Amino acid sequence: MTIPAIRFRSEAEAAAALRLAGPAGVLLVSAPGAAAWPGAAVVAAMVARAAAAHPSAPHRAALDCGAAPGLALDALRQGWRLLVLDPAHPSFPAVEAAAAELGATLLPVPPEALDLSRLDLRKPGGRAILARHLGAPAPEGSAPGGAAGASCP
């Protein structure tokens, strides 16, 4: 079974995914280029706070480094073990080797993920789409069946 992935931009989005994660868990993928802004440490803190609020939710987190190999190396030093880096950058092989040496994984493209910035998680329909993506039962107050996602991406 593959782990469903979501793309998050805030602690609230990461927490919503963890709250609704099914038994397979969830892969939390940062926003594109998040290693540059808000930065690896800030993204790690967001994930840590969301995970602390939902300690039983299995998860992994991936930091998107865009086309910045220096930021990817810094993220490795900070403890990140799953990174995304543009493979077109000439330093990709060197960063990939450094990652492998640490037991980390460097992905050339981000995994296919539901982008939570396109959902309004304050609304039942948005929460229902997220729950369905994660293989979890629809949260209380969500629209039943497929109606919730009919008009949303």
pLDDT tens for each residue of 69-89: 999 999 999 999 999 999 999
The CA distance from 24 to 143, in Å, is 23
Q: What is the CATH number of domain 5-117?
A: 3.20.20.70
Q: What mean pLDDT is predicted for residues 39-56? A: 98
The CA distance from 139 to 130, in Å, is 10
pTM of the model: 0.90
Q: What is the dihedral of CA 20, 22, 23, 27, to 10 degrees?
A: -80
* DSSP 3-state of 125: helix
pLDDT at position 121 over 70: yes
Q: Which amino acid is at 93?
A: P
